[in-house]
Amino acid sequence: MNGSRKGPGGRLAALVSGRRTKWVVLAFWIVLLVALGPLSGRLKDVQKNDAASWLPAGAQSTQVVKLDERFHSGEPVTAVVVYERAGGITPADQAKARSDAAAFARLPGAGQAQGPFRSTDGKALRTLVPVNKDDAQKAVTSARDIAARGADGLETHVTGPAGGAADLSAVFGSMDGLLLMVAAGVVIALLLLIYRSPLLWLVPVLSAVFALGLSQSAVYLLAKYAGLTFNGQTSGILTVLVFGVATDYALLLVARYREELRRHEDRHEAMAAALHRAGPAVLASAGTVAVGLLCLLAATMNSNRGLGPVAAAGVIAALAAMMTLLPALLVVLGRWIFWPLVPRYDAATRLEGEHGLWGRVGRLVAARPRLLWIGTSVVLLALTFGLGSLSANGLSNKGQFVTKPDSVTGAEALARHFPAGSGAPAVVIGDASRAAGLATTLRSTEGVAEVGRPTSAQGLVRYEATLRDPADSRAAQNTVDRLRKAVGSTAQVGGTTAVNLDTRRAAAHDNKVIIPVVLAVVFLILAVLLRALVAPLLMMATVVLSFLASLGVSALVFKHGFGFDGSDASFPLLAFIFLVALGVDYNIFLMHRVREEAERSGTRRGVVRGLTVTGGVITSAGLVLAATFAVLTALPLAAMVQMGFAVAFGVLLDTVVVRSLLLPALAFDLGRRIWLPGRLARPAAPAPERAGELEPLG
């Protein structure tokens, strides 16, 4: 047997690609998907898109949501029905609004409607309808139909928290199918261009679909039985992440398999060698990404804490499929799957690509290493200046959407005729024995426009305080702070504005805690993989610089290109997690191969050979991953568009600049010192270390 099969890793590689065991692997995956596959279709049953499931458990706004359930059956949200007529509301309009209010009270999950209330300018009416959160989408859809019926020139809209939630649910409801279809189409198109084969693309795509099904089933079980928070945004990220990462791993394995097919006459031996050689880098890559994502478990934001295990499950499922199912399928199908470019056995085969583009890039790095790493570093530093344009303080209700749904149009109409905070009041719940004093405190607080009538239940009193400023504004958040200070420990303040405030503060806390943890964990993994300290430090430094540059460019594009009014409070942290973890991926693939080559021919020669042989496949992998994340920009949600653009741009920057020029030039300039304090840093190198002593690559 080939030496590549020695050791635990080699035995596992031989098991996956064995003449008989490959059929066992295929049977195992089929049984697994038959058993778990149905669960993937039930993910929407465990989605939680309400405020309480996103916020930290200790936030005042979260506590108010829980206390509010004592006053209602289920978690209530308010739908605000707005009627507007430019020439002034007529008696017929008022009669219609009163009739509609009675109809609203009969909607599924709806309570007694309040209103209609006439605006001071006489041009609008508003009706408040409390609805159960779980019935909000159906209730809002029906309310819009009722309000529009027989309007006769009267503009009608349904807005408020329930209207916004319904519009978000509509987007999330159609998102998974759209993302899967577009992501699969993008991957197929790119694989056709990369492989130049009408057949080969089927194997990675089929394996990626299996990986997605496995990850969705695992997430369903975690959400159902382990209390994992799973929402619509996380679902979209899971789809593109699994497709992108799985295809990346497939590209790397298939490229190494093709290389080994030229060195081994037997395809089973070739696959065992490919798995043995490429497996550690892919395993380290997946481990780095998964562990980095699991660091989100330290987040205080429920949404961030839930994303970590969900995305990690996706990465692990992709790793499992691409290291077992994909190799088994390729070996079963044989060499013909590469048609028309079928790799033939040639015992005298040389390093592929030395005369191509990446051979020329390698020689450029060898000729001007210091100029290259200084120049690319200066360019990346220049791109970071855009960070001054980043405003990650949360998105306004209007700013959440790329399009303009009815809830946004209704909120604009409401603001024209009623106090700016109408429809999204602050909810204050305190001790019923102090109700009178609490009401006086609320009315005397700066920024409060009006205080509604109290309701009591189980020894508690509940007030709704309408704010003078728009509910999603910083001024309204300042009013919430004043309210909390004024009521002290006698009451708790929640509502839409309080949710936004608590979200912003929790996100700021998570940034300070999680980013250093991720950097430390990733560094430790790299140090173990490369058995060095200098190389991991350089890899981390280049990726962080690339992340800051990507964030700077993204901030400028968001503000001056897309015209967004800000970014989600969690955007910097999530962008960091994905860009650092995924960016280190490509550095791992490069430096693992450089180390392999350095053991045979010296570090500087190893840098050139490693860059030459991995250049094409890593660039292809970067293009695929960038393209799959770019699919998120097709969604009508600003947060998803921003995440998709930032990650896609950052991955391309990593692939084209950091991995192709900056890191190789740094490694070449340092020579064997990059492996300090490991064995390869010792002076007794197996090949010349000076650039002038390099043998010609051609």
Q: Mean pLDDT lowest for which of 93-97, 168-172, 672-676, 677-681? A: 168-172
Categorize the per-residue pLDDT at 4 as very low, low, confident or very high, splitting at 50, 70 and 90.
Answer: very low
Q: Are residues 43 and 7 in the same domain?
A: yes
Query: Has residue 684 got a pLDDT over 80?
Result: no
CATH code at position 610: 1.20.1640.10
Query: Has residue 353 got a pLDDT over 60?
Result: no
Mean pLDDT of the chain: 85
pLDDT of residue 326: 93
DSSP character string of 57-88: TTSHHHHHHHHHTTTSSS-EEEEEEEEE-TT-
Q: Are residues 325 and 358 in the same domain?
A: no
pLDDT of residue 309: 92
pLDDT of residue 305: 86
Q: Are residues 590 and 650 in the same domain?
A: yes
Last residue of a domain, which of 311, 333, 348? 348
CA 287 – CA 278 distance, rounded (Å): 14
Q: What is the mean pLDDT of residues 247-269?
A: 88
Q: What is the mean pLDDT of residues 456-477?
A: 88
CA 560 – CA 576 distance, rounded (Å): 22
Most confident of 310-319, 399-408, 419-428: 310-319
Residue 324 lies in a domain: yes
Q: Are residues 220 and 298 in the same domain?
A: yes
pLDDT of residue 187: 87
Q: What is the mean pLDDT of residues 14-33?
A: 86
* Spatial contact of 539 and 681, defined as CB atoms under 8 Å apart: no
**Per-residue pLDDT tens digits for 628-680:** 888 888 888 888 899 999 999 999 999 889 989 999 999 999 999 999 888 88
DSSP letter at 660 equals I
Residue 331 lies in a domain: yes
Pick the more confident residue, 564 or 669: 669
pLDDT of residue 349: 57
pLDDT of residue 136: 83
Categorize the per-residue pLDDT at 146 as very low, low, confident or very high, splitting at 50, 70 and 90.
Answer: very high
Comparing C-alpha atoms, which of 400, 494, 393, 289 is closest to residue 49?
400
Structural tokens at position 501: 């405030």
pLDDT of residue 51: 60
Q: Are residues 388 and 326 in the same domain?
A: no
Extract the runs of DSSP E, i.e. beta strands, from 245-338: none
pLDDT of residue 73: 60
Query: Has residue 589 got a pLDDT over 70?
Result: yes
Residue 340 lies in a domain: yes
Last residue of a domain, which of 305, 322, 348? 348
Query: Has residue 174 got a pLDDT over 80?
Result: no
**Per-residue pLDDT tens digits for 375-388:** 999 999 999 998 88
Q: What is the mean pLDDT of residues 678-695?
A: 56
Distances (CA, A) of 133 to 49, 164, 421, 424, 637: 10, 12, 20, 15, 21
Q: What is the mean pLDDT of residues 194-210?
A: 90
Comparing C-alpha atoms, which of 350, 326, 347 is closest to residue 337?
326
CA 583 – CA 289 distance, rounded (Å): 9
Taking the CA atoms of the chain, what radius of gyration do you get in angstroms? 29
pLDDT of residue 537: 93
Cα angle: 677, vertex 682, 684; to 5 degrees: 165
Q: What is the mean pLDDT of residues 608-625?
A: 88
Q: Are residues 603 and 528 in the same domain?
A: yes
Pick the more confident residue, 18 or 349: 18
Categorize the per-residue pLDDT at 348 as very low, low, confident or very high, splitting at 50, 70 and 90.
Answer: low
Residue numbers of the domain that contains 271: 1-57+197-348
Q: pLDDT above 90 covers what percent of the chain?
A: 31
pLDDT of residue 7: 44
DSSP character string of 194-235: HH--TTTTHHHHHHHHHHHHHHHHHHHHHHHHS-----HHHH
Q: Are residues 277 and 205 in the same domain?
A: yes
The dihedral formed by the CA atoms of 631, 632, 633 and 639, expressed in degrees to the nearest 10: -170
Comparing C-alpha atoms, which of 131, 98, 97, 245 is closest to residue 183?
245
Structural tokens at position 42: 């039930």
Residue 224 lies in a domain: yes
Q: Are residues 243 and 368 in the same domain?
A: no
Residue 129 lies in a domain: no
Categorize the per-residue pLDDT at 691 as very low, low, confident or very high, splitting at 50, 70 and 90.
Answer: very low
Backbone angles phi, psi at 84, to 5 degrees: -140, 130
Q: Are residues 576 and 658 in the same domain?
A: yes
Q: Are residues 303 and 246 in the same domain?
A: yes
Query: Has residue 556 got a pLDDT over 90?
Result: yes
CA 315 – CA 18 distance, rounded (Å): 25
Residue 452 lies in a domain: no
Residue 536 lies in a domain: yes
- Say how many domains are in the chain: 2
Comparing C-alpha atoms, which of 412, 383, 398, 382 is closest to residue 566?
398
pLDDT of residue 440: 92
pLDDT of residue 350: 53
The three-state secondary structure class of 102 is: helix
pLDDT of residue 3: 41
Tokens 């990733």 locate to 522
Query: Has residue 65 got a pLDDT over 90?
Result: no
The three-state secondary structure class of 629 is: helix
Helix orientation angle between 534-556 and 496-530, rounded to the nearest 10 degrees: 150
Q: Are residues 237 and 372 in the same domain?
A: no
Cα angle: 77, vertex 80, 83; to 5 degrees: 170
Categorize the per-residue pLDDT at 71 as very low, low, confident or very high, splitting at 50, 70 and 90.
Answer: confident
* Spatial contact of 695 and 610, defined as CB atoms under 8 Å apart: no
Query: Has residue 12 got a pLDDT over 90?
Result: no
Pick the more confident residue, 81 or 235: 81
Amino acid present at 325: L
pLDDT of residue 8: 44
Residue 493 lies in a domain: no
The dihedral formed by the CA atoms of 625, 626, 628 and 633, expressed in degrees to the nearest 10: 160
Comparing C-alpha atoms, which of 54, 72, 70 is closest to residue 62?
54
Q: Are residues 332 and 383 in the same domain?
A: no
**pTM greater than 0.95 (yes/no):** no
